[in-house]
């Protein structure tokens, strides 16, 4: 059985396996990742077929156990396999190795998968922000400039003074800010949620874990991306046109206000983004989980499994196109309404000069004194009009890009 021994040696040497031999030395079992295989050898002395072997493979994934095909091959005379058989085994072995690589992360490694995951979030931000840039501009006019005109009068004023492109003013800077922010946010949420799931050992993430992961993701993205947001706010504030773009605004703030001026409003930003991320991701995941556990959802998932390899990227969306957009919009609206006052205070802090800088609490009190509680919700209507399509498109593009880029679960 020299040929069989050589084949086993090659298989063992290719990767590290956990080998176990039975007492009679006729059964060899080895484990690799989630693959468990046993080979039962039959010698001339055994009651089984002379010169044959039986292969049984067990694939363990979660709670599912799959049995591989059983095969019995008859060896040539004197226990030797022909060269043709050995070549065929080599081909099969190579296919097994490729399958194992795909099972471990698509052959691209952890770094490549992380890059694709971040790109999915970045593309989602770029598409959604460009689509809703006019509404974002209107929101900032109310929030930052304290505009008193009604919505339709403000639209006419911007169109008359700056033309159609005026509604996309600052959109490039907004993309520079939101693309990395959303990329980190989406990636961090999926990572934190999956880590919490592994730590708990549950089959599914609990609602508390969803909210906790969302809050942590919001804080992570805020700390890393707030400098770009501060620069953008400075540019759209009164007099911001004279700073000369992103580089000019950056230099002005560093030279006149110091490096840490880029982190103005960090505390209220974290206080805002923690509940915002918790609500945004938590609500979406709760809605998604409820649907997937419903009879309709289970039927859809079963259909997707049966048609695997035949569906395009749109058809592979677990919620479908319309439901993904609707759930994203609901999650965005809930998040915006719950945390909007923090956003108003944060913008005000970012515009303050060092000489007249006030605390977040003092700024909040000042706003209420000047305009009452409604002052904390200035611009909420255009903000919601912007958030609904933005959140819907953002989640839809993100889920779509994860399928297109074949992002593995982190």
Is the per-residue pLDDT at 101 higher than 70?
no
Crossing angle between the packed helical segments 133-143 and 321-351, to the nearest 10 degrees: 30
Percent of the chain at pLDDT > 70 equals 69
126 and 98 share a domain? no
Q: How many domains does the chain have?
A: 2
Q: Which residue among 103, 134, 161 closes a domain? A: 103
345 Cβ contact list (under 8 Å, min separation 6): 265, 268, 360, 363, 364, 367, 376
Domain that holds residue 184: 109-404
169: in domain: yes
Same domain (yes/no): 222, 168: yes
Spatial contact of 12 and 30, defined as CB atoms under 8 Å apart: yes
The answer to whether position 340 is within a domain reads: yes
pTM score of the predicted model: 0.61
Q: What is the pLDDT of residue 99?
A: 46
**What does the pLDDT look like over 135-189, one tens digit per residue?**
777 777 776 666 667 778 778 888 888 887 878 877 887 787 789 999 999 999 9
CB 190 within 8 A of CB 254: no
Residue 233 domain-assigned?
yes
Task: Looking at the structure, tell me whether residues 154 and 21 fall in a common domain.
Answer: no
| Residue 129 and residue 78 share a domain | no
| One domain for residues 47 and 130 | no
Residue 340 scores a pLDDT above 90: no
Give the C-alpha separation, 389 to 131, whole Å: 8
Q: Is the dihedral of CA 90, 91, 96, 101 positive or negative?
A: positive
Same domain? 89 vs 23: yes
50 pLDDT higher than 60 = no
Which carries the bigger pLDDT value, residue 273 or residue 322? 322
Kindly indicate the confidence band of residue 329, based on its pLDDT and cuts at 50, 70 and 90.
very high
What is the mean predicted confidence (pLDDT) over 111-134? 90
Residue 409 lies in a domain: no
With respect to residue 258, please indicate whether it lies within any of the assigned structural domains: yes
DSSP H/E element including 12: helix 2-14
313, 400 contact by CB (below 8 A)? yes
**For 211-221, what is each residue's pLDDT tens digit?**
999 999 999 99
Q: For 379-397, how does the pLDDT look when each residue is reduced to its tens digit (9 = 90+)? A: 788 778 778 998 999 999 9
| Angstrom distance (rounded) from CA 37 to CA 300 | 33
Q: Are 232 and 149 found together in one domain?
A: yes
Same domain, 187 and 42: no
pLDDT number for residue 249? 83
pLDDT recorded at residue 309:
76
CA atoms within 13 A on the CB side of 62: 5
d(CA 294, CA 223) in angstroms, rounded, equals 38
Q: Give the range among 103-112, 168-177, 200-209, 248-257 with minimum mean pLDDT.
A: 103-112
Which one of 103, 123, 146 terminates a domain? 103
pLDDT at 177: 75
End-to-end CA distance of the chain: 44
CA distance 225 to 174: 12
Tokens of 248: 């000019």
Residue 73 inside a domain? The answer is yes
Res. 85 pLDDT band, cuts 50 70 90? low
Per the domain annotation, does 410 fall within a domain? no
Segment 42-47 shows an average pLDDT of 46
- Name the strand (E) or helix (H) holding 30: strand 27-32
Last residue within a domain, chosen from 83, 103, 123: 103
Does 114 lie in the same domain as 96?
A: no
The CA angle 369-370-372, to the nearest 5 degrees, is: 65
Q: Cα separation of 208 and 215, whole Å?
A: 11
- pLDDT at res. 16: 45
Judging by beta carbons within 10 Å of its beta carbon (0-12, 13-18, 19+), is residue 403 exposed, middle or buried? middle
Residue 204: other Cβ atoms inside 10 A: 11
Q: How many CB atoms lie within 10 A of CB 316?
A: 16
| Cα separation, 393 vs 375, whole angstroms | 29
Provide the token pair at 390.
């933005």
The reply to whether 234 and 180 lie within a common domain is yes
Q: Taking a C-beta distance cutoff of 8 angstroms, is the pair 410, 324 a contact?
A: no
pLDDT of 54 higher than 60: no
């Amino acid at each position: 059985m020299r040929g069989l021994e050589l084949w086993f040696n090659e298989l063992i040497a290719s990767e590290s396996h956990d080998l176990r031999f039975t007492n009679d030395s006729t059964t060899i079992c080895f484990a690799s990742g989630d693959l468990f295989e046993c080979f039962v050898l039959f010698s001339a002395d055994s009651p089984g077929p002379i010169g044959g072997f039986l292969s049984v493979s067990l694939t363990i994934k979660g709670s599912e156990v799959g049995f591989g095909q059983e095969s019995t091959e008859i060896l040539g005379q004197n226990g030797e396999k022909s060269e043709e058989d050995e070549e065929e085994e080599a081909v099969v072995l190579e296919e097994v190795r490729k399958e194992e690589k795909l099972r471990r992360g698509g052959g691209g490694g952890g770094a490549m998968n992380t890059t694709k995951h971040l790109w999915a979030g970045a593309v989602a931000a770029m598409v959604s922000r460009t689509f809703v840039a006019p509404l974002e501009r209107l929101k900032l006019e109310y929030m930052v400039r304290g505009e008193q005109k009604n919505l339709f009068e403000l639209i006419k004023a911007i169109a008359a003074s700056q033309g159609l492109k005026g509604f996309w003013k600052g959109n490039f800077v907004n993309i520079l800010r939101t693309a990395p922010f959303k990329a980190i946010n989406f990636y961090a949420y999926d990572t934190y949620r999956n880590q919490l799931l592994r730590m708990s050992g549950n089959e599914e993430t609990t609602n508390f874990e969803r909210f906790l992961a969302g809050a942590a993701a919001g804080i992570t993205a805020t700390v890393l991306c707030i400098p770009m947001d501060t620069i953008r706010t400075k540019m759209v504030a009164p007099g911001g046109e004279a700073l000369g773009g992103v580089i000019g605004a950056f230099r002005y703030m560093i030279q006149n206000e110091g490096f840490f001026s880029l982190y103005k409003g960090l505390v209220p930003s974290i206080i805002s983004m923690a509940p915002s991320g918790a609500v945004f991701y938590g609500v979406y995941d709760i809605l998604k989980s409820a649907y997937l556990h419903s009879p309709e959802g289970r039927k859809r998932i079963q259909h997707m499994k049966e048609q695997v390899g035949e569906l395009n990227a749109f058809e592979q969306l677990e919620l479908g196109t319309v439901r993904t957009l609707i759930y994203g919009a609901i999650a965005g609206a809930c998040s915006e309404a719950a945390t909007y006052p923090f956003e108003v205070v944060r913008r005000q802090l970012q515009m303050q000069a060092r000489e007249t800088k006030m605390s977040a609490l003092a700024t909040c009190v000042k706003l209420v004194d000047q305009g009452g509680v409604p002052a904390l919700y200035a611009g909420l209507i255009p903000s919601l009009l912007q958030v609904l399509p933005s959140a819907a498109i953002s989640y839809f593009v993100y889920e779509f890009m994860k399928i297109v880029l074949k992002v593995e679960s982190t």
